[in-house]
A and B are shown apart, each in its own frame.
Chain A
Amino acid sequence: MTFLRESSIVFRRQLRMNLRNPAWVIIGMLQPVLYLLLFGPLLKDVVKTFGYDNAYTFFVPGLLVQLGIFGAFFAGFSLIGEWREGVIEAERVTPASRTALLMGRLWRDLTQLLVQAIILVALGYLMGMRASWQGAVLGVVLTLLIGGACAASSNALALTTKSEDVMAPVINMVMMPVLLLSGILLPMTIGPKWLLDVSDVMPTRHVVDAVRGLFTGGAGSELAWGTGWAIVLCALGVWWGTATFRRENA
């Protein structure tokens, strides 16, 4: 009970600050929307060559996962600002649970992601995406899981590096292979065998496949793999984040 109360205090505080300065939320949202509007139409005929009849049913799931990963990865930047102003230290000197300090922030990141995901899916439907609503809901749930993993890792990274200058290149370094090897823009199956094999080790590719399967309704073993990876990554991220918040704790 205390834990819930403490994390909700942190959550409400974070939400209040986000609403006051929604720049990050809008910037995070803009990228997938632009992809959808400006890149989606290019796929219209191309998708037929790899077995999809609707460009948006193919593309929206990829963008969802991209949103979950990229948007959440930037969550840590606001933490560095807070740390610099002594907020983290002030919170850590209270008896509040260290895990609650992280969870409150994570809830904010997930709330933000949920709103963005709903907008993206709604926009997809408007553009002519055909997907069952159950599939779309489950797809968003998977997105939240992978988003939680990334947001927690981002907060952990922020509190470890304590510098935007270190964090930005690290995130960039992680992002590039994730973006290229997850089959977000084009399915990996149309590439050569070796590239497909390489992408097999990329957990996020399985998540993209799973979300895509949920949207098209043809989800099989990929759903299990993707869900499994999403859960594992989320657990790892939360564990890392919690460890960082607890560290140095006497």
Chain B
Amino acid sequence: MIHARGLVQTFQTGKGKRKSEVRAVDGVDLDVAEGEVVGFLGPNGAGKTTTLRMLTTLLRPTAGTATVAGYDVVRQSQDVRRSIGYVSQAGGTFSGARAGDEVMDHGMLYGRSRAEVQRRGHELFDQFQLDGLWDRMPKNMSGGQKRRLDIVMGLIHEPTLVFLDEPTTGLDPQARANLWQHIAELRTRRGATVFLTTHYLDEADVLSDRIVIIDRGRIVASDTADNLKAQVSGDLVDLEILDPRQLGVAAERVAAVTDGRARPEVDGSHVRGRVPRAGRVVPSLLRDLTTAGVTLESIEVIRPTLDDVFLSLTGRSLRDAQDASADDGPEPTDHELEGALT
């Protein structure tokens, strides 16, 4: 569905002598298969939105090529636009207009008939739990309702590929969980391919088949969440031993299953070691411990977070990267990018 090679976007920053060129996106290769749900993860300013805007024909790439839904984003932008749905961070409905009117006008701009967009709009309102809100203005909706309305806008022309830019930013936990469910249904109910950007680790983890991590305009990793975590650090197995005299034996047993990658650490009554896949190792480890006569007070398996992944890939934690990007200057706004293009 998406094939990008060497995408680059540069823009000018500063004025006069301090003028310099910034490569917001610096050679991005990307492949997304049909029916895939891909999470595009990175700190603020990493180039997520800029990449997305190039893939959705809103921004002409400085260099590189991309085909989206089978069409070239530069030469066949009209065909790309017809095939994709795009839900931007800002949404797309005017706060003072009626929700239903906005959805219908949007659908008609895709060349659909009034009757068709009306029927489909009402269907989507029902599916997204917006029934009864057809005549309401977005400014009188809750954050979650507004976000669902934005997604309805993006689906009115039945696209096979949907781009979601930071879909749950600013929502409360319940509204987020609810929206996640709706996003998951995009594929299960419509078979849509979904490409979503986020800087929430849990969101990428929950929603996507595959995670693509971008940092400073470059793709640094692309794999399933499980593989990323396994490849990077493995799971942490934490054993609490009842009898302190058995700590040594327990540590030996744990060392036997960690492939010798790292020595297990002993800390008070705890023995901790990293193993590639805890799910496969723990059953036999428990048997070993029982055979060796070690009694456990408790066992805990801590799966690595995507933050660990990001840390091992870039040498910085996501949080640090977030802060650092504030110093580098945030991701260029539309304004700067447009200025750069004129």
Q: Choose one: B58, B59, B60, B81; the contact of A95 (CB below 8 Å).
A: B81
- Let me know if B92 and A86 touch, CB within 8 A: yes
Determine, out of A9-17, A138-146, A193-201, the stretch whose residues face the partner at the interface: A9-17
Proximity string of chain B (53-83) to chain A, C-beta cutoff 8 Å, 1 when within and 0 when not: 0101111110000000000011001100110
CB of A87 within 8 A of CB of B94, answer yes
Q: Is the CB of B94 within 8 A of A250?
A: no
Q: Which residues of B contact A89 (CB under 8 A)?
A: 58, 88, 90, 92
Most chain B CB atoms below 10 A, which of A9, A82, A94: A94
Q: Tell me if A221 is interfacial: C-beta within 8 Å of chain B.
A: no
Contacts known (A9-B105, A86-B91, A87-B94); A94 close to B110, Cβ less than 8 A: yes
1/0 per position for A56-95, CB-CB distance to B under 8 A?
0000000000000000000000000110111101111111
* Number of A positions contacting B (CB below 8 A): 30
Whose C-beta in chain B lies nearest to the C-beta of A101?
A: B109
A247 touches B93 (CB 8 A): no
Q: Which residues of B contact A82 (CB under 8 A)?
A: 94
State whether B91 touches A94 (Cβ < 8 A). no
Binary contact readout A1-44 vs B (1 if CB under 8 angstroms, 0 otherwise) = 01000100110110011001100000000000000000000000
- Find out whether the CB atom of B341 lies under 8 angstroms from the CB atom of A247: yes
Shortest B57–chain A CB gap in Å is 5
In this complex, the member of B91, B92, B337 whose beta carbon has the largest number of chain A beta carbons within 10 angstroms is B92
Contact partners of B111 in chain A: CB under 8 A: 2, 95
When C-beta atoms are compared, the residue in chain B nearest to A12 turns out to be: B105
| Partner among B54, B78, B93, B335 whose Cβ is within 8 Å of the Cβ of A85 | B93
In the bound complex, do residue A16 and residue B90 qualify as a contact, i.e. CB atoms below 8 Å apart?
no
Provide the main secondary structure of the chain A interface: helix
Q: Could you tell me the distance between the alpha carbons of A13 and B58 in the complex, rounded to whole angstroms? A: 22
With A9-B108, A94-B81, A95-B110 as contacts: A250 and B97 at CB distance below 8 Å = no
Residue-wise, chain B 133-169 has the 8 Å CB interface mask toward A (1 for contact) of: 0000000000000000000010001000000000000
Question: Which residues of the partner chain B approach A93 to less than 8 Å between Cβ atoms?
Answer: 56-58, 81, 84, 86, 88
Interface pair A85/B95, CB less than 8 Å apart? yes
Q: Are A13 and B101 in contact (CB under 8 A)?
A: yes
Taking a contact as CB atoms under 8 Å apart, the answer to whether A85 and B73 are in contact is no
Interface membership of A49, Cβ < 8 A: no
Q: Does B173 contact A (CB under 8 A)?
A: no
Whether A86 touches B97, Cβ cut-off 8 Å, given contacts A94-B81, A94-B106, A250-B59, is no
Compute how far the CA of A160 lies from the CA of B95 in the bound complex, rounded to whole angstroms: 22
Give complex CA distance A250, B157 in Å. Answer: 21
The reply to whether B58 and A92 contact each other, CB–CB distance below 8 Å, is yes
Q: Does A130 contact B (CB under 8 A)?
A: no
Please tell me which one of the listed residues B84, B90, B96, B342 contacts residue A247 in the complex, with CB atoms under 8 A apart.
B342
Interface presence of B300 (CB below 8 A): no
- Per a CB cutoff under 8 Å, which of A21, A81, A250 touches B74? A250
User: Considering the chains assembled together, what is the distance between the CA atoms of A2 and B109 in angstroms?
Assistant: 10
Nearest CB on B from A9, distance (A): 5
- Given the complex, which residues of A lie within 8 Å of B109, measured CB to CB? 6, 9-10, 91, 94-96
Q: Which of A162-185 contact B (CB under 8 A)?
A: 162
| Cα–Cα, bound, A31→B210 (Å) | 60
Kindly report which residue of chain B lies nearest to residue A92, judged by CB atoms.
B58
Given A17-B94, A84-B90, A86-B92: A248 and B108 interface contact (C-beta under 8 Å): no
Q: Contacts A16-B97, A95-B111 hold; do A250 and B60 have CB atoms under 8 A apart?
A: yes
Is residue B334 contacting chain A, with contact meaning CB distance below 8 A? yes
A162 / chain B contacts, CB cutoff of 8 Å: 334-335
**Cα separation A10 to B104 with both chains bound (whole Å):** 11
| Bound complex: CA A20 to CA B102 (Å) | 14
Which of A10, A95, A247 is within 8 Å of B78, CB to CB? A95
Which chain B residues border A2 with CB–CB below 8 Å? Answer: 111
Interface centre among A13, A17, A162, A247 (most CB of B within 10 A): A13
User: Which residues of chain A are near B338, meaning CB under 8 Å?
Assistant: 160, 247-248
Most buried by B among A10, A95, A250: A250
Kindly state whether residue B317 has any CB partner on chain A within 8 Å: no
Q: Verify if B233 is at the interface (C-beta below 8 Å from A).
A: no
Q: Residue-by-residue, is B180-197 near A (CB-CB < 8 Å gives 1, otherwise 0)?
A: 000000000000000000
Q: Which residues of chain A are within 8 angstroms of B101 by Cβ–Cβ distance?
A: 13, 16
The reply to whether A248 and B81 contact each other, CB–CB distance below 8 Å, is no
Q: Are A90 and B77 in contact (CB under 8 A)?
A: no
The closest CB in chain B to the CB of A9 belongs to B108
Mark contacts of A105-122 with chain B using CB atoms, 8 A cut-off: 1 yes-contact digit, 0 otherwise: 000000000000000000
CB of B89 within 8 A of chain A? yes
Known A91-B109, A93-B81, A94-B106; contact A85-B58, beta-carbon cutoff 8 A? no
**In the complex, what distance in Å separates the CA atom of A241 from the CA atom of B111?**
24
The 4 closest A-B pairs by CB, nearest first: A86-B90, A90-B92, A250-B60, A94-B109
- Mind listing 17 A-B residue pairs with CB under 8 Å? A2-B111, A13-B101, A17-B96, A17-B97, A21-B96, A86-B88, A86-B89, A87-B94, A90-B93, A93-B84, A93-B86, A248-B60, A248-B338, A248-B341, A249-B60, A250-B73, A250-B77
Apart from A94-B81, A94-B106, A249-B77, 10 more pairs, CB < 8 Å? A13-B97, A13-B101, A16-B101, A17-B96, A90-B106, A90-B153, A93-B86, A160-B338, A249-B57, A250-B58
